[in-house]
Amino acid sequence: MKWILTFLVWSSLCLTVFGQEVPSNEINPSLLNRPWSARWISHPTASPVEYGVYHFRKSFDLADVPGKFIVNISGDNRYRFFVNGTPVCEGPARGDIEHWRFESVDIAPYLRKGKNVLAAEVWNFALRRPVAQFSLMTGFIVQGNSSKEEMVNTNSSWKVMKDKAYSPGEDPGRLLHAYIVVGPPDVVDGSKYPWGWENIDYDDSAWKQVSQMNNGQPKGIGTETSWTLTPREIPFMEKKQERMKSVRRSEGISVPDNWLQGKAPLTIPANHKVSILIDNGVLTTAYPQLFVTKGKGATIKVSYAEALVDENGQKGNRDDIKGKKLLGYTDVFLPDGGTNRMFRSLWFRTYRYIRMDIQTGDEPLTIDDYYGMFTAYPLVEKAAFASSDSTLKQIWNVGWRTARLCANETYFDCPYYEQLQYVGDTRIQALISLYVSGDDRLMRKAIQLFNDSRFSEGLTRSRYPSYLPQIIPPYSLFWVDMVNDYRMLRDDSTFVKSNLWGIENVMHWFEQRIDPKTGLLGKVEYWNFVDWAEEWGWSRESQMGGMPAGGFHGQSAMLTLQFAYSAQHAAEIFKQFNDTCLSQKYQKLADNLVKAVRQNCWDESRGYFADTPEKKEFSMHTNIFAVLTGAIEKGDANGFIRKMTNDTSLIQPTMYFRFYLTQAMKKAGLADKYLNTLGLWRDMLAKGLTTFAEKPDPTRSDCHAWSASPDYDLLATVAGIEPASPGFQTVKIEPALGPLQFVKGKFPHPDGMIEFDLHRKGKVGITGQIVLPANLTGVFRWNGKEVRLHSGSQEINL
């Protein structure tokens, strides 16, 4: 019973705080410029490169409880760290071997006078680890921050055991015929589990002495390196209890109405088979936690899915369960017959629906409680948006949930299938983060990770961290755009400058592929993904998809214009840093690329740019970038966009690429029409989705952050809040209300909150109030008129 009480205390604690984070300036500077005295430790006989779950312990005595006791911790693949039975932190925050993060925590609040125990659960999923998870070998390290804390350093005084209760579950990719790379499900045999292993009174006398490996090493130290230790830059993930909504279907048993509320146990008789379908109500990312008593000989299978599917594999309305089944990855727990046993997966699960299939043995099983512990990056919703169209609030809420579930230790493209940080997705996700929460730490980490990923040719990886290299050259261009976004939104010139060399490398790589005959990009190697348009399906020949004409063999107008778009941004970046030579070079490069597209790809008869000089294929994508780069003259852009958005003969963009359509509309003076483009999002809401999907049905992922862009555009386009100068030192507010009668809300600027309350006045006027934080000035624009804005409150009346 004691261990479960400890866990319940942790569950309550995590509603407010998870660990005592230590600011980076409290990390002992010597730990960043010399080898650590602590050693990496592992199991003495188990293979360090094969699947395994391990428990480490260290006992020590304290004469008194210190006011502060800082330790620095890391592990490979992952670890959970306990102090006297209480979980304190987990990690490491994902990176790569050359930038291996460690966590710094003050564990003084968890210590006591007399005997204390530090404990850690460390697992290595080996070849079945998530693709986003780099690994060298099984390892764990604890380093005291100063001499007084070095008594707990990992060395020969630590003990270890390999937990034979764990084995990897069935590969879910085979079941779903999908690319699922988030790690294996867990199979846990409770009869082999060392219950209470993390507590002070647990007897570890039979445990083995650890094997010691090399000392911990920070960057630039030593003749050989293993894990290059780097401080964690982001906060710990949020943890909070989340009750599931309802039981939608049960077979073989009647489930009490208040079971999921934790108010009534569910007892399953001996030698009985049951199946229970649970609806969480909304899609979530959480650690489902199952508490059981007795049930020796039972098998509990827990399967997770974003949605149910019909006999044809179609999802349909996500609220509808009739005639549908759940297909998803499955954890298995085998109870040992003990009291209040808790099963928790090693990594979180993504689900709206859960199916629990239970077969009991000769002993009845009681499920005492079942709930989720929500987890995600701790983004706080500081922005707000309200309008005369109440349905936009639903789009806002669903978009924000989508963005939250796709933000963890890195940004995720999707939490169920991949949990990989792709540049194309991340650019949009980062803008949402900054606009809604004001938190820029995850964006800065993402930019740095992509810069770290650049390989010998100069390009970034398309996704990172990823132990399986993938290269999408257009995503390297989006990385340049992402640096420019950060430059405009944050006054952080030192960080921006640290990426300049990477920008030059990316630009140089593309320059070498310009065809001197046409001025367009010639053959561009690797996977030139643009969008999952229906016409750009998967090719068995090339083993690639999502590419426009010319994306494989060369002469692509779309890729050429995207190169020009990023070259324009590069020119602005280098201009800010007074590098006139490179600024002018990239501006001239952009001009020449735009000129080449005009000369080779304009089709006078159709009035559009073709995707290649052969003029056989026409996409909105190419023509969107024609507007963004100025290939369409500004005076012509308005009519051009109007024509293009009504022409269904063009290859249409999905939700992802409509982010760029919106930017083109704004440049053409058509921001007022933005709200008319939200049909795809409204369709998803009508189908019962609680997050926005990867693309219109049929879709793989029901939660894909690139589709959450309305949360950015309701503030940046409809409310019209954008930086007017680098570092957001001044602001431009140019509302585009469309059919709305009013907009009201707030926006987290680095200097404080921007507040807006604006109403239409007659047919063409506007009135209301703007509040800017101290030291911020800017302009307000409306129908060609401009008003200077000062810090503080001011009335608008135009």
Buried b (16+ CB within 10 A) or exposed e, 208-237: eebbbbbbbbbeebeeebbbbbbbbebebb
pLDDT digits (tens, 9 = 90+) for 474-505: 999 999 999 999 999 999 999 999 999 999 99
pLDDT digits (tens, 9 = 90+) for 612-639: 999 999 999 999 999 999 999 988 999 9
Alpha helices, DSSP H, located in 406-472 = 423-436, 441-452
Q: Is residue 580 helix, strand or coil?
A: helix
Report the distance separating Cα 379 and Cα 39, nearest Å.
35
Would 623 be classed as within a structural domain?
yes
Q: Alpha-carbon dihedral of residues 763, 767, 773, 774, nearest 10 degrees?
A: 130
Please check the confidence at residue 284 and state whether its pLDDT lies above 70: yes
The two beta strands, 78-83 and 792-797, are: unpaired
Smallest Cα–Cα separation from 219: which of 465, 455, 449, 34?
A: 34
Number of structural domains (the chain) is: 4
Would 400 be classed as within a structural domain?
no
Q: Are residues 220 and 327 in the same domain?
A: no
Report the distance separating Cα 360 and Cα 300, nearest Å.
8
Would 523 be classed as within a structural domain?
yes
Average pLDDT of span 301-321: 97
With both helix axes pointing from N to C terminus, report the angle between 557-576 and 473-489 in degrees, rounded to the nearest 10. Answer: 30
Report the distance separating Cα 15 and Cα 240, nearest Å.
4
Smallest Cα–Cα separation from 78: which of 303, 345, 448, 331?
A: 345
Res 172: pLDDT: 87
Would 113 be classed as within a structural domain?
yes
Q: Are residues 669 and 754 in the same domain?
A: no
Question: Which amino acid does the sequence have at 671?
Answer: A
Band of pLDDT at residue 10, cut at 50, 70 and 90: very low
Report the distance separating Cα 473 and Cα 491, nearest Å.
28
- DSSP H or E stretch at residue 71: strand 70-76
Range of the structural domain that residue 254 is part of? 239-376
Q: Are residues 211 and 257 in the same domain?
A: no
Res 11: pLDDT: 39
Q: Are residues 292 and 215 in the same domain?
A: no
Phi/psi of residue 595, nearest 5 degrees: -60, -40
Q: Are residues 655 and 767 in the same domain?
A: no
| CATH code: domain of residue 635 | 1.50.10.10
Chain position carrying tokens 């199946």: 275
| CATH code: domain of residue 320 | 2.60.120.260
Question: Which amino acid does the sequence have at 42?
Answer: S
Q: Is residue 341 helix, strand or coil?
A: strand
Would 135 be classed as within a structural domain?
yes
pLDDT digits (tens, 9 = 90+) for 97-135: 999 999 999 999 999 999 999 999 999 999 999 999 999
Q: Are residues 569 and 554 in the same domain?
A: yes
Band of pLDDT at residue 19, cut at 50, 70 and 90: low
pLDDT digits (tens, 9 = 90+) for 54-105: 999 999 999 999 999 999 999 999 999 999 999 999 999 999 999 999 999 9
Please check the confidence at residue 274 and state whether its pLDDT lies above 80: yes
pLDDT digits (tens, 9 = 90+) for 194-208: 999 999 999 999 999
Report the distance separating Cα 463 and Cα 470, nearest Å.
7
Q: Are residues 22 and 57 in the same domain?
A: yes
Q: Are residues 204 and 269 in the same domain?
A: no
Res 18: pLDDT: 52
Lowest-pLDDT range, 21-30, 138-147, 483-492, 690-699? 21-30
Would 41 be classed as within a structural domain?
yes
pTM equals 0.96
Q: Verify cis geometry, omega within 30 degrees of 0, for the bond prior to 723.
A: no
Q: Is residue 570 helix, strand or coil?
A: helix
pLDDT digits (tens, 9 = 90+) for 707-732: 999 999 999 999 999 999 999 999 99
Average pLDDT of span 17-45: 88
Average pLDDT of span 446-453: 98
Domain end among 219, 236, 253: 236
**Two structure tokens written together for 173:** 């990719």
Average pLDDT of span 290-294: 98
Q: Are residues 354 and 300 in the same domain?
A: yes
pLDDT digits (tens, 9 = 90+) for 556-593: 999 999 999 999 999 999 999 999 999 999 999 999 99
Non-local CB neighbours of 773 within 8 Å, separated by 6+ positions = 749, 751, 752, 753, 754, 791
Would 569 be classed as within a structural domain?
yes
Band of pLDDT at residue 175, cut at 50, 70 and 90: confident
Phi/psi of residue 712, nearest 5 degrees: -75, -45
Domain end among 202, 236, 270: 236
Q: Are residues 210 and 113 in the same domain?
A: yes
- DSSP H or E stretch at residue 484: helix 473-489
Considering the chain, what is the average pLDDT of its residues?
95
Please check the confidence at residue 1 and state whether its pLDDT lies above 50: no
Would 411 be classed as within a structural domain?
no
Report the distance separating Cα 39 and Cα 43, nearest Å.
13
CB 278 within 8 A of CB 260: yes
Average pLDDT of span 671-686: 97
